Chains A and B, each alone.
Chain A
Amino acid sequence: MGTSSLNWTTRIKLVFVQLSLIDWLTVLVVLSFGWLATQIIGVVEPESSSLMNLIPLFLSGAIVIGYCYRPSINKVHYSFIIPSSVRQSTTWITGITWLVIGLPLIVFLSVQQISSEGVLLSVISTLLLVLSATIVGSLCNHLPKQWGIPLLLLTLYWLLIINNLFVNNLTQAMLSNDLETQAIVLMIAVGLLGVIASIAEFTKPWQRQLETSRYVSISRFDSPMPSFTGMGSLLIVSSLRILRDKVFIIYFGSFIILLLSRILVNNWQINWLTIVGLTLAGLSALIITRLVKFSFSFLDKFSYLPIQPGQIEFVGYFAGLIIIAAISWIIIWGLFGVTGENMARLLAASLSGYGAGFLVGLSYRKINHLGVFDSFWRFMVQLLVFILVFIYSLQLPLSGATTSLLILMLLAMSTTCYQVSQSSATIKSNG
């Protein structure tokens, strides 16, 4: 017993020694966040129970433990001195405690807050948030993944506790200049970043469960099956390809600047629909051009792998569309409510960008190494898409012009989709 006790003491000391400055900062941030959460609950729900106020503290504790004992991704970066069995046990205990006590508690409190009329809409909006965040989350690099567990707990808290207030607060924060509400929205935004990273981490085992049961060992290679897992991995890496692109960072930065300007500058005349539509169109064009480029280059470089062109095209064309659709839905829901006209406008903006971007993406196949010419014209076409979308989809009323543009873009997209599928199949069959 004495040896065991000594070992435990030694181990705990060693853990504290191992914690770096960033670890301690994390603890500080997490505790501050918990305190801040308590304060904001007091503002949003002045009549909240003492039990509800305990939740941030519970979460803070769970977050700290979860962070310290987070599952290691690789041995090089996260080698704790504690034996892996102890670490795993602690992780399990934390997880089970959270699931058995924390989650039902939060769900219970959330349900109490949801009005009967808004239940369905709240559930849908949450599902959409989780869906889009999961998709985007699977694109993340290792860095956000390191922060996965603490951020997951925080964001679950934010999503569930103020679920029924989410849409209202988001809309109010964007349309008014109320700093308090804006602070809440910013908190949600921070929380979403957590969901982005952590849900992906947590759902990985579940996502792979089917694969694990079917492909237990290498010996099963004798009867190969279609590689659905390969497609999932392709989607992840092609999305990584987008996120690590400098152009994406420029687009993203521009959007953030627009967003912040709209929040901070009083009486700015540019409306939200224009900003969001513009961004969606650019994002659509950007995503699809990068995905098309990636799928082509991957097919060229790794043509000896047992993967079919159709699988790569799925990733390149349709997965991109799903991502855009998910993001669009969230923005439409959060900012404007679901009105037919707004939805049609943003859909037109997204699809225009997507279709035109797809056309641009085709140029990668024929014009690979033309340097300035390639980059310049690619940029110009994307700029043109921006302007067209700005003028036709957003500023003008929903008229024949907008509808025509939408039809044209849909036609262009479907035609080019067909053409590329055919050419890829032909190239593949000809070796």
Chain B
Amino acid sequence: MLKVQDLIAKVANRHLDGLSFKVEPGEVLAILGSSDSGKHELGQVLAGIHKTLSGEISINRYHLNTGSDKARIQLGYLPNPAPIEEFLTGYELLDLIGSIYHLAPNTRKERIQFLIDLLEIGPSVYSILETASPDVCQKVALASSVIHSPKLVILDEPTQMLDFNGPRLVGDIVKNMTNSSSSVVLITDNLELAQDLADNFLVLANGQKLIEGTMAQLLNQTHPHLRSLRGVMEKIDY
């Protein structure tokens, strides 16, 4: 579904250097690392916001650089921080983004209602986002990233601004996506969430791949007696 080959990019002052990885259909990849590891920048490059210097990114067989629109329409992206249009209601924003993704009106309406229920947004979706709580804004942004049932969704810190229910709601969204064979790239500092949801892990440091694999492979590469992802991350030599 997502294939990244020898990716080199420069975003602001951060370099991404020679990254290669794959995410298969229905798979969840967690990208981890410290705040200056370049994981957020990698998300932006994968979403097509910044161009690559060299290398190749293909989403569902479409190359991001050459067939940008075709690739972008396969993609859902939740940036960090989540963007909103403060003069619109949550419903209007979802409707707008759904229409940009070519969703037919009926499909759009059904999909919005489904996401409102799934994310437990409630009547707040009809209030202007300027006055809505950060929790509602984040949920609306999260819903907008998956409104078109993309083949690949990149979630950058999805639990940010959410309350204690956040990890559960994000988990529901991720499971919903993977059940329909969509792939998920989860960029997060929430290691418990990553451990619960991800099939594979990619740990970055200074824009380079440090370690990659399943949970079992990560444990083998660090310390076989460790049980948790947090333990692995603490053992890694940055």
Contacts and interface: CB of A to CB of B under 8 A. Distances in A.
Interface of A: 74-77, 142, 204-205, 208, 211-212, 215-218, 220-221, 224-225, 227, 229-230, 232-234, 236-237, 240-241, 244-245, 297-298, 301-308, 430-431
Given A215-B102, A217-B104, A307-B100, 18 more contacts: A74-B126, A142-B89, A142-B126, A221-B73, A221-B148, A224-B69, A224-B73, A224-B102, A230-B96, A233-B96, A233-B99, A234-B100, A237-B93, A237-B96, A301-B83, A301-B85, A303-B49, A304-B72
A229 B100 CA distance: 7
Nearest to B67: A224
Contact of A211 (B70, B105, B126, B149): B105
A189 to B, nearest CB: 26
B49 A230 contact: no
Contacts of B100: 227, 229-230, 233-234, 305-307
Contacts of A304: 47-49, 72, 75, 77, 79
Contacts of A227: 99-102
Closest 4 CB pairs of A and B: A230-B100, A301-B83, A431-B51, A233-B99
B88 A237 contact: yes
Interface in B78-108: 79, 83-85, 87-89, 91-93, 95-97, 99-107
Interface of B: 47-51, 69-70, 72-75, 77, 79, 83-85, 87-89, 91-93, 95-97, 99-107, 113, 123, 126, 128, 148-149
Contacts of B91: 74
B99 A431 contact: no
A252 B82 CA distance: 33
Nearest to B101: A306
6 contacts: A205-B105, A221-B148, A224-B102, A229-B102, A244-B87, A244-B128
Contacts of A220: 102
A225 B92 contact: no
A217 B72 contact: no
A224 B48 CA distance: 17
Among B48, B84, B93, B99, the one with the most A-chain Cβ atoms within 10 Å of its Cβ is B99
Nearest to B145: A304
Contact of A218 (B48, B93, B148): B148
A84 to B, nearest CB: 14
Contacts of B104: 208, 211-212, 215-217
A306 B103 contact: no
Contacts of A216: 104
Contacts of A234: 96, 100
Contacts of B87: 237, 240-241, 244-245
Interface core residue of A211, A224, A227, A244 (most chain B CB under 10 Å): A224
A232 B95 CA distance: 11
A319 B205 CA distance: 48
B103 A237 contact: no
A113 B134 CA distance: 58
A249 to B, nearest CB: 13
A240 B91 CA distance: 13
Nearest to A234: B96
A204 B107 CA distance: 15
Contact of A241 (B51, B85, B103): B85
Contacts of B79: 304
Contacts of A208: 104-105
A303 B205 CA distance: 27
Contacts of B51: 430-431
Contacts of B49: 303-304, 431
Contacts of B77: 304
A305 B97 contact: yes
Given A212-B106, A237-B92, A244-B87, A306 B73 contact: yes
Contacts of A215: 102-104, 107
